[in-house]
């Protein structure tokens, strides 16, 4: 919820701080995602060194503190800085989520588990503007941050109570340490203990995501494709308020409701991909005796076509002032397409990199966050120059260029993935 609950309140915030630059207004939303470019590169690997649970607990607390400070900001500079810091803390829950699932769920059940988990990262940004729109009208923009901090405070407590350590190497490391203390036998070591120093392990963990990004074509392709649709998602998130207030005369609360088209698309996509993925994996195992990560990818083919179709539908219907439900239906197709891309890729990365899934997702998060930051800032100027119709057609054209990618991955993905030249030592 945190990146977008504030989106409908941006005009109110800009008026309070006497800011007129619309691109800066978009940046107030997307600066939260700027932090996702940096945080996963060092916070997520630390989770593979010291365990996922302690890093989660620490960053949860930091997120609450910085979100409260956002709510008491006295100028736009202060708001930007502390919203960035809140994003830095908040990115850990997103990038470590796939790691927790990889730790505790066997491959045959990961599709369902990841579908449930993805409700947060995808449905949250859609529900949040609806809440934020009416909340900011009733209580002011600051309460969008206070509510976020209250909810996060509750879940932080829940994490301390219910969230155990799940990362296998760390669990064995702690068990060996306990047994050394109990038995006095200082030769006891975890089976995964290679004898390297703690500093060396930290260095290895910190450079692991970079090695994946530089040397693994699979990680690169998945990051780029996810980045495209993720950038489009935040492009829409940051421009919906202006489009529906300007084109249809919506008030702040009604503008928040415009996000529901994307949300419905996400929900349908989650149900469809979740039901398909694990069943298809089981069918492939029954047919061939085993399954492979590429068996997660067929929904990508559909998603590659749905995104450009939805963008053209949304752009031209809004441009021509058709009934407001028509462009919202178009965004539903965009949301469905985004889910058909996002979720299979997350499953594929978890199945491919296993215990290093969190680092693989961190790479994916960093690259997509760059797109999620840059594209929204370009939104208002692009719409002014090209209009809603041609502007969204341009975005759709770029998406069409990527439609061959799923077919190529289904045909050559396994060969690339297993090629020793493209398998960095992690």
From first to last of its 426 residues, the chain has per-residue pLDDT tens of 898 888 888 888 998 998 888 778 778 887 888 888 888 877 777 777 788 899 999 999 999 999 999 999 999 999 999 999 999 999 888 878 878 888 888 877 877 888 788 778 777 887 888 888 889 989 999 999 999 999 999 999 999 999 999 988 888 888 988 888 888 888 888 776 666 666 676 677 677 777 887 888 888 888 888 888 888 888 887 788 788 888 888 887 787 788 888 889 988 988 888 778 878 888 888 888 877 888 888 999 999 999 999 999 999 999 999 999 999 999 999 999 998 998 888 888 888 887 777 778 778 888 888 887 778 777 778 888 889 999 999 999 999 998 998 898 888 888 888 877 777 676
Question: Residue 199 is encoded by which pair of tokens?
Answer: 């500093």
Residue 82 is part of which domain span?
7-188+197-422
Q: Does residue 1 lie within any of the structural domains?
A: no
Distance (Å, rounded) from C-alpha 311 to C-alpha 389?
9
H helix or E strand, kind and range, residue 145: helix 142-162
Number of independent structural domains in the chain: 1
Q: In Å, what is the CA distance from 165 to each residue of 52, 55, 168, 242? A: 6, 10, 8, 44
DSSP string, 64-87: HHHHHHHHT-SSHHHHHHHHHHHH
Number of Cβ within 10 Å of residue 108's Cβ equals: 13
Distance (Å, rounded) from C-alpha 248 to C-alpha 225?
33
- Which CATH number is 58's domain given? 1.20.1250.20
Task: Return the SS3 of 73.
Answer: coil
Where do the H-state alpha helices sit in 252-403?
A: 252-257, 260-288, 298-319, 325-353, 357-401
Question: Residue 341 is encoded by which pair of tokens?
Answer: 């891309």
Number of residues that this document lists for the chain = 426
Q: Which of 32, 151, 49, 171 is nearest to 94 (CA)?
A: 32
Question: Residue 400 is encoded by which pair of tokens?
Answer: 């069409």
Distance (Å, rounded) from C-alpha 159 to C-alpha 267?
26
Question: Do 306 and 333 contact (CB within 8 A), yes or no?
Answer: yes
pLDDT at position 220 is 86
How many CA atoms, within 13 angstroms, populate the side-chain half-sphere of residue 79?
23
Task: Return the SS3 of 280.
Answer: helix
Q: Does residue 343 lie within any of the structural domains?
A: yes
Q: Does residue 165 lie within any of the structural domains?
A: yes
Q: Helices 217-248 and 298-319 meet at what angle, rounded to 10? A: 20
Q: Does residue 369 lie within any of the structural domains?
A: yes
Q: Does residue 81 lie within any of the structural domains?
A: yes
pLDDT at position 151 is 95
pLDDT at position 194 is 65
pLDDT at position 99 is 80
pLDDT at position 270 is 84
Distance (Å, rounded) from C-alpha 170 to C-alpha 192?
9
Q: Which of 238, 272, 282 is nearest to 380 (CA)?
A: 238
Q: Does residue 2 lie within any of the structural domains?
A: no
Maximum Cα interatomic distance, the chain, rounded to a whole number of Å: 78
CA 92 to chain centroid, in Å, comes to: 11
* Structure letter (DSSP) for residue 408: H
pLDDT at position 196 is 64
Distance (Å, rounded) from C-alpha 72 to C-alpha 77?
12
Distance (Å, rounded) from C-alpha 234 to C-alpha 125?
9
pLDDT at position 198 is 62
Question: Do 180 and 188 contact (CB within 8 A), yes or no?
Answer: yes
Q: Does residue 219 lie within any of the structural domains?
A: yes
Q: Which of 292, 307, 305, 403 is nearest to 348 (CA)?
A: 292
Q: Does residue 364 lie within any of the structural domains?
A: yes
From the number of C-beta atoms within 10 Å of its C-beta (0-12, 13-18, 19+), residue 45 rates as: buried
* Structure letter (DSSP) for residue 187: T
Distance (Å, rounded) from C-alpha 358 to C-alpha 374?
24
Q: Which of 354, 359, 361, 360 is nearest to 46 (CA)?
A: 359
pLDDT at position 63 is 96
Question: Do 56 and 92 contact (CB within 8 A), yes or no?
Answer: yes
Number of Cβ within 10 Å of residue 247's Cβ equals: 17
């Amino acid at each position: 919820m945190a990146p977008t609950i504030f989106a409908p309140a941006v005009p109110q915030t800009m008026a309070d701080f006497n800011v007129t630059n619309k691109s800066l207004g978009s940046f107030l939303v997307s600066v939260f995602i700027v932090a996702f470019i940096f945080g996963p590169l060092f916070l997520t690997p630390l989770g593979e060194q010291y365990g996922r649970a302690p890093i989660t607990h620490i960053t949860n607390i930091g997120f609450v503190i910085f979100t409260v400070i956002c709510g008491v900001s006295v100028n736009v500079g202060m708001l930007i800085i502390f919203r960035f810091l809140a994003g830095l803390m908040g990115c850990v829950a997103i990038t470590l989520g796939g790691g927790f699932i990889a730790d505790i769920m066997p491959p045959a059940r990961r599709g369902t588990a990841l579908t449930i988990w993805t409700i947060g990262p995808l449905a949250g940004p859609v529900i949040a503007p609806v809440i934020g729109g009416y909340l900011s009208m009733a209580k002011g923009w600051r309460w969008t941050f206070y509510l976020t901090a209250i909810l996060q405070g509750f879940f932080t407590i829940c994490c301390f109570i219910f969230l155990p350590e799940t990362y296998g190497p760390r669990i064995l490391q702690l068990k060996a340490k306990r047994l050394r203390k109990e038995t006095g036998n200082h030769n006891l070591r975890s089976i995964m203990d290679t004898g390297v120093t703690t500093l060396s392990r930290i260095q290895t963990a910190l450079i692991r995501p970079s090695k994946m990004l530089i040397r693994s074509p699979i990680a690169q392709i998945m990051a780029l494709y996810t980045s495209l649709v993720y950038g489009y998602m935040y492009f829409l998130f940051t421009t919906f308020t202006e489009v529906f207030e300007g084109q249809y005369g919506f008030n702040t609360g009604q503008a928040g409701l415009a996000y529901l088209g994307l949300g419905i698309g996400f929900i349908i996509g989650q149900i469809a991909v979740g039901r398909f993925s694990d069943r298809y994996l089981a069918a492939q195992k029954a047919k061939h005796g085993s399954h492979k990560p590429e068996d997660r990818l067929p929904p990508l083919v559909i998603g590659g076509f749905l995104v450009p179709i939805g963008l053209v539908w949304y752009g031209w219907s809004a441009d021509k002032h058709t009934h407001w439900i028509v462009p919202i239906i178009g965004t539903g197709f965009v949301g469905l397409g985004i889910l058909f891309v996002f979720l299979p890729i997350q499953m594929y990365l978890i199945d491919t990199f296993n215990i290093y899934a969190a680092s693989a997702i961190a790479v994916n998060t960093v690259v997509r966050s760059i797109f999620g930051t840059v594209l929204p800032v370009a939104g208002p100027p692009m719409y002014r120059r090209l209009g809603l119709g041609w502007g969204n057609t341009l975005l759709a054209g770029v998406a069409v260029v990527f439609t061959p990618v799923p077919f190529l991955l289904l045909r050559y993905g396994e060969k690339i993935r297993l090629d020793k030249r493209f398998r960095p030592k992690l």
